[in-house]
Amino acid sequence: MANPLVQPGLPAELADRSQLFEYKGKVGDFERLVGIVEEALAGVPEADRPRDRRMTPVEVKIRFVWVGAERRMPAITGQARARLTMLCQRCLEVFEMPVVADLRMLLIQPGQDPADVLAGDDFELWELETPTVRPVDIVEEALIMAMPLAPKHELVDDCGQLAQKIAQDRGMMQDREKATRPFAGLKLQMEKSNK
């Protein structure tokens, strides 16, 4: 299936039609996301890189709309979701990281003063470099900006060998705490004798 997000369009025309884009594809359909995944896995031996890393899902549902009573500003609303194959910065193991980007963006035309833009409603400003827009560019940028600076498993317990080591260390610490402490009850005994 061809990616409809790559077709350029005029934001005003797309907003006039309330153009909806629903797309279910794969990371391989998004050039910049592929570059980020490959860069993240650059230090991992090829044999240890998942072969299907470019096949992980990307889902997009966005709509072009007008914002303001006078239809002053075209905007994009919606959401994009992706699962990116990354390297956990805590345990250095490869994992699939979910990324979700909520889009609420006012589209500022070239030469338009951002100060003239309708404010409020929690919209971000997206300044266009050309009169047309390719939705794929906005979706990719939103997903990239939604990524954490240091990708890692959500829970330490998901960190494979590191999680096993941490669990083992916790067990050892608990065993040490259970070990006989000769002065553990001394404070209690002193308090009783002082009464």
Q: Where are the domains of the chain?
A: 4-154, 156-195
Write down the mean pLDDT value for the chain: 85
Q: At 38, is the pLDDT very low, low, confident or very high (cuts 50, 70, 90)?
A: very high
Contacts (Cβ under 8 Å, ≥6 apart) of 155: none
Q: At 176, is the pLDDT very low, low, confident or very high (cuts 50, 70, 90)?
A: low
> What predicted TM-score, i.e. pTM, was given to this entire model?
0.77
Q: What is the pLDDT of residue 182?
A: 60
Torsion sign over Cα 176, 181, 187, 189: positive
Q: At 112, is the pLDDT very low, low, confident or very high (cuts 50, 70, 90)?
A: confident
Q: Which tens digits make up the pLDDT trace of 5-16?
A: 899 999 999 999
Mean pLDDT (whole number) for 152-164: 77
Q: What is the pLDDT of residue 162?
A: 57
Strands (E), 27-166: 57-67, 73-87, 94-108, 124-127
Q: Which tens digits make up the pLDDT trace of 125-157?
A: 888 999 999 999 999 999 999 999 999 998 888
Lowest mean pLDDT among 62-66, 162-166, 190-194: 162-166
Which one-letter amino acid corresponds to residue 44?
V
Contacts (Cβ under 8 Å, ≥6 apart) of 16: 66
Lowest mean pLDDT among 54-68, 113-127, 134-148, 170-184: 170-184
pLDDT above 80: residue 61:
yes
Q: What is the pLDDT of residue 119?
A: 57
pLDDT above 60: residue 58:
yes
Task: Residue 74: count other Cβ atoms within 10 Å of its Cβ.
Answer: 23
Region of 176 on the Ramachandran plot (φ > 0 left; ψ -120 to 50 alpha; else beta): alpha
H/E segment holding residue 166:
helix 160-178
Percent of the chain with pLDDT over 70: 81
